[in-house]
Amino acid sequence: MADMKREAAEPWYAGGLRFRCTQCGDCCTGAEGYVWVNQEEIDAMARRLAMTSAEFEARHVYRVGIRRSLKERPGGDCVLLDETTRKCTAYEERPRQCRTWPFWDSNLRTPDDWAEAAAACPGCNHGQLVPLETIREQAAKIRL
């Protein structure tokens, strides 16, 4: 009986999911939206791009109420996406929202939600198996 309850509590991806970031830039473009950033992330990206935090924020961040988001170019490309290489110019210091992709609640709800994410992301279902505990840790960092 205890095993049945434990199985019922396990998510559909209990065996893990495969993912390897291909740095294709596809998750950095498309529909307009928000990439939420905090001061620590702004500071790290500014250092990465050899700017002061104030310069980085003035150039790449805008306010949405009390929150802050990275700016986008017309059409939805993230302002940090290099238009030629399609690589993130701050990849090593990218925000938590970017670091945790694709392990967002919205992508993990159902196998269909994961399949939808995988249709847009060539790294989903490829690469090493990411264990359940790592997926849970990533999903707990941000709720999207």
Q: Please report, rounded to a whole number, the percentage of residues in the chain having pLDDT higher than 70.
A: 94
Q: Give pLDDT, residue 142.
A: 84
Residue 8 has pLDDT above 80, yes or no: no
> What is the per-residue pLDDT across 45-88, written as a single tens digit (0 to 9) for each?
999 999 999 999 999 999 999 999 999 999 899 999 999 999 99
- Return the closest-CA partner of residue 37 out of 83, 78, 82: 78
Selected residue with higher pLDDT from 2 and 27: 27
Which residues are within 8 A (CB) of 138 and not within 5 positions of it... i.e. 6 or more apart? 99, 100, 103
123-143 pLDDT, tens digit per residue, is 999 999 999 999 999 999 987
